[in-house]
Amino acid sequence: MKKISDKQYKYIEYFYCLLIAIIFISICSKSSFLYPLNNWDDANSFFTMGKGMANGLMIYKDLFEQKGPLLYLIHAIAYLISNDTFLGVFIFEVISFSIFLYFVNKIISIYCRKIHLLWSMPLISFLILSSYVFVSGDSAEEFCMPLLAISLYYMLNYYKNIYPNKMPIKQIIINGIIAGCVLCIKYNLLGFWLGFAGFLCIGLLINKKIKEAFLTGIYFLLGMAIPVIPWIIYFGVNDALYDMFKVYFLVNISSYATQVTILKRIMIALKEGLIYARNLWLSSAITFIGYIYTIARNNIIPNKYGKVTITITIILSIIGVFYGANHVYYFLILMPFSVLGLIFIAKIIEKYIHQNKIIIFITPIYLIIIIVITLFTSHNFEFRKIKKEELVQYQFAELIKEKPNATILNYGFLDGGFYTVTNTIPNIKYFHKPNIKYENYPQIMDDQNKYIKEKTTDFVIIRIEKEEDSYNIPHLYENYNKIKTVYEPNVKNYYILFRIK
């Protein structure tokens, strides 16, 4: 094999990671061109918020949703790429996942030959994207995965090659910036960075480097401030700082909090994490074996403190994710730790296969096999067979678009994609109903009922188990006419479209 330069290899890395990301995101994400629509309610609510943001509405103040502003900015840009499809989101997903793969490869390359790029990228793509915790694509966790991979690379490299000396200032600030970005996407995913930054400082204190520990903490916080301060200015200038703080922090904390002790919450969080790990037996087994190998062998992390740090950061990540609530897609942010298993596999391969040309020779066949397995295991792939005209969103859109500049109320359930397919900008703050119980935040449904009473929107869309349930909605039949009903067997619900009288 002709020796290639480091510069040439870097270009190969970039291209290969991008290629693998395109292939597997196309197969597994409903945002891709293979699917008629990403009909996941979370994805559509993010898109609606981004659409509002791109059209001058103030998130949190004019539109109510509970994720971070950076996630909505991503969707605002995606909306500018394509107003009524997820093409822009698909592009962001590909870029995000290719960055993730690139840093996963950099992690493996700390310990093993560079050739492992060829088999490891398809394998981890299959493990993550075909899993049921990937849901439909376009989650906050998905966009935080590359951020975790970057910081995990810096952490493992630090304990392999730098500790007990302090981490370079540039690297500390970079990881602070990354943590700040996570704070601006979904703050409860910060468990990893809490452990990472905390143990950087504690390790220096243990080695009696008090000044370095203090400065490390300061530099990390300064890094965090870099992506956060522009948002504070943005909301402050638009008189929406309180709205942001209230919705993103206070409502989230109060709405999903349970009346149990902190210790019990931690135990529940760890238990939830273990349940998902058990269900995802293949990736969990690979991860667990890799973790045991990592802490057992000094050629991976040569010091006990580093082994303690990786253990605690994983535990803190699980607690942070499941501390307040539990949804299937939460586990996605923990799956990058499967890179530890890839390191173990790479070490086994190196023990028995010494020539790179053997790996190169089998890669095309291996890649085809992994792609075929992904086609059969991705729980989303069957949805590609659905035609647009079969979806309730497009059936209703035909009727809604008959009225110029129509307005819609997505009543009593999460954003169903009707704002997306009709390219409608909400004229109401509570444009959908998030997963918040009425008693925890009654204003959502109180205001939605008020919109119906005052005929604020041209159309109202409801989702109910039985058609007769629609009669329980106050003022609905007084002010609106029922014009179309569609039964969705997959969700076992009726969707009913009402038009203003």
Residues 395 and 316 in one domain: no
What is the rounded average pLDDT of the residues 381-392? 94
pLDDT at 485 over 80: yes
Question: Does residue 188 lie in a domain region?
Answer: yes
- Mean of the per-residue pLDDT values of the chain: 94
Question: Does residue 346 lie in a domain region?
Answer: yes
> Which of 23-37, 139-153, 243-257, 477-491 has the least mean pLDDT?
243-257
pLDDT digits (tens, 9 = 90+) for 261-296: 778 878 887 888 888 888 899 999 999 999 999 999
pLDDT digits (tens, 9 = 90+) for 411-424: 999 999 999 999 99
Residues 267 and 247 in one domain: yes
Of the three residues 382, 406, 434, the one that is the final residue of a domain is: 382
Residues 119 and 200 in one domain: yes
Question: Does residue 269 lie in a domain region?
Answer: yes
The DSSP string of 294-362 is HHH-TTTS-SHHHHHHHHHHHHHHHHHHHSS---GGGGGGGGGGGHHHHHHHHHHHHHH---HHHHHHH
Of the three residues 342, 362, 382, the one that is the final residue of a domain is: 382
Residues 394 and 423 in one domain: yes
Cα 492–chain centre separation: 27
What is the rounded average pLDDT of the residues 83-109? 98
Phi, psi of 207 (to 5 degrees): -90, 20
Of the three residues 355, 382, 409, the one that is the final residue of a domain is: 382
Question: Does residue 24 lie in a domain region?
Answer: yes
pLDDT at 256 over 80: no
CB atoms closer than 10 angstroms to residue 208: 8
Give the Cα separation of 429 and 452 in Å (integer): 14
CATH number at residue 490: 3.40.190
**Confidence category of residue 260, pLDDT binned at 50, 70, 90:** low
pTM of the model: 0.95
Give the Cα separation of 294 and 297 in Å (integer): 6
Residues 327 and 136: beta-carbon distance below 8 Å: no
Residues 362 and 434 in one domain: no
**How many separate domains does the chain show?**
2
Residues 437 and 397 in one domain: yes
pLDDT digits (tens, 9 = 90+) for 205-249: 999 999 999 999 999 999 999 999 999 999 999 999 999 999 999
pLDDT at 487 over 50: yes
Residues 229 and 276 in one domain: yes
Range of the domain at 11: 6-30+86-382
The DSSP string of 398-415 is HHHTTSTT--EEEESSS-
pLDDT at 354 over 90: no
Question: Does residue 331 lie in a domain region?
Answer: yes
Residues 425 and 485 in one domain: yes
Write b or e for each residue in 132-168: b if 16 or more Cβ atoms lie within 10 A of its Cβ, otherwise e.
ebbbbbbbbbbbbbbbbbbbbbbbbbbbbeebeebbe
Question: Does residue 137 lie in a domain region?
Answer: yes
Residues 325 and 376 in one domain: yes
Question: Does residue 49 lie in a domain region?
Answer: no
pLDDT at 1: 44
Residues 392 and 377 in one domain: no
Give the Cα separation of 360 and 309 in Å (integer): 35
Q: Could you tell me which residues are beta bridge partners of residue 486?
A: 495
pLDDT digits (tens, 9 = 90+) for 432-444: 999 999 999 999 9
Question: Does residue 67 lie in a domain region?
Answer: no
Residues 261 and 409 in one domain: no
Nearest to 319 by CA among 280, 262, 281: 262
Residues 364 and 324 in one domain: yes
